Amino acid sequence: MELESETRLSKIKRQITAGIRSSLDEFWKIQEYNRKTFRQQPLQEISGAFGDIGTFLPIIIAYAARYPRSAIDLSSTLVFTGLFNILTGLFFGVPLPVQPMKAIAAVALSRLFDAEEVAVAGLIVGIVVAVLSVSRLLDWFNRKIPVPVIKGIQVGVGLSLISNGGSMFIEEDEFFLSHDLPQLLQFVAFVGFLAGNVFRRLPLALILLFLGILVALPSLINHPQALGIWHPHLLMPIQNASVQAGLDAALGQIPLTVLNSVIAVSALSADLFPDVSTPSPTTIGISVAGMNLVGCWFGSMPVCHGSGGLAAQYRFGARSGASVIFLGLIKLLLGLFAGRFAQDVFQGIPNAILGIMLIAAGLELANVGEALNTAEARDISGDDDGLIINPPSQNWSNGIAGEDLTLERRKRRWTLMLITAGGIIALKSDTAGFVAGMLCHWSYQWYDRYDARRSIREGTIRLVNDNGH
């Protein structure tokens, strides 16, 4: 008995040792990939690092605009999002973004939340996502949601980014009103956007960011801000009012986070980086939960990984975790030593620059829809001679496993994707688009089952009639 117990203990130790060794081997492979990619294309990686600022900056500026009664601590946000960028790049090896949670931001900004209420909202989302991740429910959702619906979410979010970017591009901001030729900047930004589409290796985000900072310099010279070291402080968001307000904001964010920041971003990373071991929905969910369960206690804004941000960083050149590690270091240094200065820099960048970057990001994300009915889709395999549904897909609207991807199946998949995307755009809600897509999917299921039963019944009737009964 004692020998058997020692043998079992020894086996457990060997398994733990093997697991640690395997994890370390994978970690060092990621670092080698990051290092190699950065050495091959340093400008593209640095440009890609700033690809997501069109989404990041407008929200963070709006959050921090009520200084010193801001809804977030800007320095803490820069410090923690910088650390999260660095850790993401080190452990995932792909340029996953660290983005604001948009649904929480929308509620918090419209209702003038204080820092405690914003923190509660982020903590609630973090707890829910942690439970879904640990219980493996995220992987289950990822298997059950049809690929056309996932791509519909990506396309819908992409088109929404284009729409928001277009509005921002023509918006009359402070720069627009205080300069004689604001259209010149719009023209230059648009020409840069067109050039970036033709010359894909052009570090467009870096050029646009440099242009934006150059435009902001005069106001910074006129209103210099002293540098200062970050002093962390702990929030205690335990009042009933804060909890209730935070819950209101979190309820709208949870489905958005699960669909766009976990499931869609996991699928997109696999599409964009087929030769790299990309993180699973469960891994991404744990990352999102961890970021909020740590940072929100210190006044950092609630954050997630978004498919739009990933598409943006990929569009502007990012191909490895080295890109977001670089971005994280910049954020960390600004947060530690120049939080107020960074806020003035961010506020000085014209909307025309941010808007054109948002448009480019939206185009990159929406482009994933073109692979829906090709072998690049994860539920399809084959070549030009014929495509078939892969065994993991068992849903009727996509086709039965092993079935040819017929013209009818292709049309159904496009319909599913477009209904999902259309719901997101028309109703301005990822959740509404997802529900619309799933209802369409279930209606196809119902019809196929009804048609199958009817065919069996009609075949039986014909067989009876043929026998003379």
For 26-55, how does the pLDDT look when each residue is reduced to its tens digit (9 = 90+)? Answer: 999 999 999 999 999 999 999 999 988 877
Mean pLDDT across the chain, nearest whole number? 83
Full-model pTM: 0.81
Task: Tell whether the model's pLDDT for residue 468 goes beyond 70.
Answer: no
What pLDDT was estimated at residue 310?
A: 93
% of the chain beyond a pLDDT of 90: 33
CB count within 10 Å of CB 277 equals 14
* 99-100/386-389 β-pairing: unpaired
What pLDDT was estimated at residue 15?
A: 78
Take residue 374 and report the two structure tokens written for it: 């090709």
Task: Tell whether the model's pLDDT for residue 67 goes beyond 60.
Answer: no
Task: Tell whether the model's pLDDT for residue 213 goes beyond 80.
Answer: yes
**What mean pLDDT do residues 106-115 have?**
81
DSSP state letter for 280: P
**What mean pLDDT do residues 287-296 have?**
96
Asked if residue 243 lies in contact with residue 120, where contact means CB atoms within 8 angstroms, the answer is yes
Residue 72's closest CA among 247, 262, 233?
A: 233
Task: Tell whether the model's pLDDT for residue 170 goes beyond 90.
Answer: no
In the chain, count H helices and then E strands: 20, 4
What pLDDT was estimated at residue 276?
A: 87
pLDDT tens digits along 416-443: 999 999 998 998 888 889 999 999 999 9
Question: Distance (Å, rounded) from C-alpha 388 to C-alpha 406?
Answer: 9
